[in-house]
Structure 1
Amino acid sequence: MRLETTGLRAGYHGGTVLHGVDITVASGEVHALVGHNGAGKTTLVHALAGLVPATGGRVLLDGDDVTRHPTHRRARRGLALVPQGRRVFASLTVAEHLTLVKASGPWTPARVLDLFPQLAQRRGHRGAHLSGGEQQMLAFARALLAQPAVLLLDEPTEGLVPALAKQIAETVASVRDEGTAVLVTAPSLDSATSTADRVTVLTGGKTGVSADGDTVRADPGVIVAALALHGEATPTE
């Protein structure tokens, strides 16, 4: 599944946050979108998921225009979101979370628990009693049970200790290797972007400098410089 935007515009309450975003994520690719707070990262993933209406441009899934499709129709096409801040249900146990989505594909509750053994050990614990890292794993597992062809991850390593951040990054790579198109956002070049096939800077609601992942890992200077140039963004996400 190929995700593409052309000239995408979106915002809140009559204001515009995204000013013509062009981005492509191919099957079996991790595309990292980096930008400071206020760059428009969360607005973009919400617009892709259908949670924020587009005011211009297009969102395409395998060439089909889904710009005006509601969230549930995009989900049926295979688009899943792991939101910033996890947003797990405080009163439901881990096991109950894994029954919210009827798995009918390669990702099953047993498989995601194998992927995140910490969750298997906490199967009977409620969402409110999980650590931040465990909640992130649970949000990730829940999205995988939707059998995504396109996975949107909004700052998935935010607030995590390095060991857990590394585990999330490795999981992103594993999902990519199964043919899923993955768009991951991050405020900087960190573990969330370490396995990216492409890295693009988002500044002021516009896509800017972009380079393939190997080039960035060999010389991150062009990305770091673009982020430094726009380090005083206004928080509008």
Structure 2
Amino acid sequence: MSGALLELDDVTAGYDRAVILDGVSLSLQPGESLALLGRNGVGKSTLIATIMGAAQLHGGKLRWKGYDMATLPPHRRAAQGLGWVAQERWIFPSLTVRENLTVAARRGPWTLEKVYALFPRLRERERNMGNQLSGGEQQMLAIARALLLNPRLLLLDEPLEGLAPVIVEELSHAIADMTASGDLAMILVEQHAAQALEMTCRAVIMDRGRIVHAGHSEALLADQALLDSAIGLGLAH
């Protein structure tokens, strides 16, 4: 049995009859961080949704710690140790920050005090309702809530999208700190290619539902020509 935490083997997936992912294979080791890059509409978010069970698996194998999880519903995958922060954030607007964080928390290394240390703004706003937070603070809350589920793998879908530069920098540091201990694996979907590569150890580039490049983040960060041709974002900052 493989020692990989997550394995996708020739995965084809999409929504109803629409095929978005076409023969995707990748693996992730415990504690490893992976940047998932590519232009809009190439299948990055669908890949995250497929891992969580929110998209339809048409073919291929999807394994978690060596075991087939293709038939597990999303809530069972979450219970197995997958955490997901979707683009929509899905915080509870009528609950306070503290209530949002504690409503579904599980025991483990990530505690309320630890997420407050990672996101000091949340400690300052802990009595505020979710709908009283800025967009950046809501993103911090969504990530912190996912951490309090104490996942083995955290899936982040465009966490820096639409945020002010100062918040992007603050969140980037926090995301890098989250995985620094090596206890938490992460897949990061991000349009900010430079930040994503600086926060991860490996990266893949997708195009038209396929992986067209895979390698170390540091090497890809240094390859401006490849990034320009494959992503077309000019190493977007």
The TM-score normalised by the length of structure 1 is 0.91
Aligned residue number for residue 204 of structure 1: 208
1:208-231 per-position Cα deviation (integer Å, ceiling 9, x unaligned): 1122012122223213211239xx
| Residue of structure 2 aligned with 1:10, choices 9, 13, 18 | 13
Is the aligned partner of 1:182 residue 2:181? no
| Residue of structure 1 aligned with 2:229, choices 214, 225, 228 | 225
Structure 1 residue 188: Cα displacement: 4.6
Aligned residue number for residue 126 of structure 2: 123
Asked if the contact 1:184/1:193 (under 8 Å) is kept, the reply is: no
| Residue of structure 2 aligned with 1:59, choices 48, 52, 62 | 62
Asked if the contact 1:31/1:184 (under 8 Å) is kept, the reply is: yes
SS at match of 2:104: coil
Separation in 2, partners of 1:4, 1:152: 14
Higher relative contact order (CA 8 A, sep 6+): 1
Structure 1 residue 28: Cα displacement: 2.0
Asked if the contact 1:34/1:199 (under 8 Å) is kept, the reply is: yes
Asked if the contact 1:94/1:127 (under 8 Å) is kept, the reply is: yes
State how 1:75-154 maps to structure 2 within 5 Å: 75-154=78-157
- In structure 1, what residue type is equivalent to 2:230? A
Instruction: Number of aligned residue pairs: give it.
Output: 229
Asked if the contact 2:119/2:174 (under 8 Å) is kept, the reply is: no
Structure 1 residue 163: Cα displacement: 2.2
Alpha-carbon RMSD across the aligned residues, in angstroms, is 1.6
Is the aligned partner of 1:41 residue 2:44? yes
Moved more, 116-125 or 52-61: 52-61
Aligned residue number for residue 71 of structure 2: 68
Structure 1 residue 167: Cα displacement: 2.2
SS at match of 1:160: coil
Unpaired stretches in structure 1, ≥5 consecutive residues: 230-237
Asked if the contact 1:94/1:126 (under 8 Å) is kept, the reply is: yes
Separation in 2, partners of 1:188, 1:116: 21
Asked if the contact 1:156/1:192 (under 8 Å) is kept, the reply is: no
Asked if the contact 2:39/2:232 (under 8 Å) is kept, the reply is: no
1:62-120 per-position Cα deviation (integer Å, ceiling 9, x unaligned): 21111111112211211100111322111111011012223311111121111111011
Asked if the contact 1:119/1:134 (under 8 Å) is kept, the reply is: yes
1:164-208 per-position Cα deviation (integer Å, ceiling 9, x unaligned): 212222222222223211100012513233222111111111111
Equivalent pairs: percent with the same residue? 38
Unpaired stretches in structure 2, ≥5 consecutive residues: none
Asked if the contact 1:30/1:196 (under 8 Å) is kept, the reply is: yes
The TM-score normalised by the length of structure 2 is 0.91
